[in-house]
Chains A and B, each alone.
Chain A
Amino acid sequence: MEYKLNSLIQRIEDMKRIGEAIAQEYKEIPAVDRNIKRILASLRILELDVSDLKMIQD
């Protein structure tokens, strides 16, 4: 099975960008800020692995 890394990276980047924007906009509300940051912490693992893979494939 071929994995579409470019598409996966793009989608992760989109999610990260949206998450960071929400965290910034609502940083005064701890429930929003911390929950979004927690999601970003999970995304970081995928983002690091996938972007590294992309680099070595290119």
Chain B
Amino acid sequence: MPEPDGLNLIGTPFRRVDGVAKVTGRTMFADDLTFPRMVHMKLVRSSVPHANIVSIDSTAAEAHPGVIHIVRGESMPDPFGILPVSQDEHAIAIDKVRFVGDPVLGVVALSEDAAEAATRLVKVEYEALDTIASVDEALDGTRDEIHDYGDEGNVHKKVSLRFGDVESGFEKADLVLEDTLFYEGNTHLPMEQHAAVAVPEGDGKVTLWSSTQTPHYVHRALTRVLKIPASHIRVIACPNGGGFGGKSDPFNHEIAVTRAALDLGRPVKICLTREEVFYCHRGRHPVTMRIKTGFAKDGAMISQHLQTALDGGSFGSYGVASTYYTGALQTVTYQLPNYHWDGMRAFTNKPPCGPKRGHGTPQPRFALEVQLDKAAHELGLDPADIRLNHLANADSITANWLRIGTIGLRQCIEKVVEGSGWRERYGKLPEGRGLGIACSSYLCGAGLPIYWNHMPHSGVQLKLDRSGGVAVFCGQTEIGQGSDSVLAACVAEVLGIDLQDIRLCVADTDLTPVDLGSYSSRVTLMMGNAAIQAAERAKSLISKAVSKRLEVPVGRLVFAEQRVFDATDPEKGMAFAEAVQAAESEFGTLGTTGSYTAPRSPGRYRGAGVGPSPAYSYSAAVVEVEVDPVTGITRVPKIWVAHDVGRCINPVLVMGQVEGGVYMGLGEAIMEESAFRRLPKKLSNALVHKFPSILEYKSPTFNDMCDVETYIVEDPDPNGPFGAKEVGQGPLLPIMPAVCNAIFDAVGVRIDQIPVQPHMIVQALEEKRRGGAGRYGPKRFPVVPWDEPLQVPTPMEGGDGKAVNAEQVGVHGGTMKETPKGTKS
């Protein structure tokens, strides 16, 4: 294999550093941990969707053999939440429940069996409140409010941003398309059920081991709710058995189990059942979208007005950020000079939605890419060309003030077009078979941290000693994506040592410097840069000592093959361990640090904080479908996908991320949905999760998965470590629209809704036969009273990144900062 520019390890496939542990059963996930005197906790969960708690009778539970403690909401009155603007959750509900599954009481017992049995003996009396089941019901101002904060009634958030002169854009356009689409919610379904173990240390300190993607934010939530100094709480994230965004919030069970451990002075574990994992949720928001775009004859987008209405579920979670993400990244793939976006998020009595792989962007991406396909047909253009001819420019600033670096999208489209035989096959396959194309882009880390601060987003420390081994400390969390391997590889590459000589200590708030967490595809870029900086600093110290020893100038020293040697005379050198000893003799005990902070974004308007990233990855996909026009069943035999990753740290792990993303996108496209239903009136009439089990929540099996042909595009980005960009989220994004576009090629009907189900195709075909449009999808968009948009002149208009009417519309400050209006339970 060709070696990329002077790199030894980077770019070459290697066995992931945690690979052997994972194939031998050695990896210790949170539920694998046990401690002396450990007891077990279970949560009693609400059986009604929205109610005041009148009384809780735990007498029988307390008398149950083995039960030793009850944890009540009153012991943790302070609310928490991942975003500073929505601190609206309680570890255990105090006077109100907001969805079926909201915890109302904790029961601790000597065995898990006893705790579980006792939860069934708890009697809770509720006083029912109106159930809010949809965005429309949330907008109807006559119903009981789920929270006492938010923009109005059950509307959590409304936002409206306008860049450029959108209306004149529509007037100038040769074609204006207006579509309404719906993207159903779905969930992460990580194979590992969330678990947490809290271990008090007897001196007021406590350690929590948990399956979390964000130990730093869990640490902050524990401090806030338990009122213990942060320095007395240690959070260790165990390797996660899959996350996909579902373990990115601080969770009520993590706080409640720590409370219980402190109360009892002994270790307490909680492991959620699969049903409870469905209640934790934080999955994809169901989003209804209206998208109006003005096109020139050649397919260029002149203006776009996008409206998004998100069904947020019962709590804030990441929702404000999710809402902004439904608008933020529409501008980074194709040129779009004028753009108006209105977004809103509703509170409903369902499990809270949050960040799932792609966070807020798959829904509007679906809308954009489906509409582009329609525009291509209207204008007589090839759907691949309408994209290729209007790509956003590298090193440019978009209408909404995002700074784009490298763009490998052209190569991505060319690869999948060539690979799929698009030019020969598109529009020419027999009836029932079709091809569809779509593209996407994703962040390589959010440009801003979740809470306002000027500290680094990621930190790495190295400890080198005379053994020649290097210990690497970093707060990053391995969730299966391979971040441990990226961390070790960056250090090994710089120091020229073997991966085996590296010992990792990660995701431990006491022992490792902060890394903000495994979310927003931020780890490779941010941690990678921090690791390179720490390793370069170590290399510099070692170089000085070796230079003195060997009498070779520092600039001529090479670190490779576990040696440090003279580039002009490779025989002249020493083993890496010897080099470290020389440095330790010269400078004393060796340790270095590295850190990374994202560059400042040019946007200065309120809302500009969501969307900026140090770099953007790009993907393109062609999907082939076979549609049975009688049954409406869609089969996907093959997908061609290309992803611009900047540079592969480890190609085989990049392949795994691409393939896994395609798989998850396929699931979202044709089967996965988090749907709800009301129980019959004679029962409780409660709004319940339709499918809180793996059996009913359909996800693709080995037999459902299609063939995937993957192309990796490497166009190194100057902001990435060795040029690397993200790969964890981007490749999922083009799949859903490409499936719908392929269905149109196959049978000539438009399905403007995800997941595509057989009845939708049958109905659309029926409509078409009757002379109708041949479309299935939402007919209307909710009536949302948006305020006057914040008007931001674009870079092309000579703007400075600020809004011009912030005073008039009563919006102040930059980014997403705002003061919470406070919340009572």
Do the two chains bind? no
- Partner-B contacts on A (CB < 8 A): none
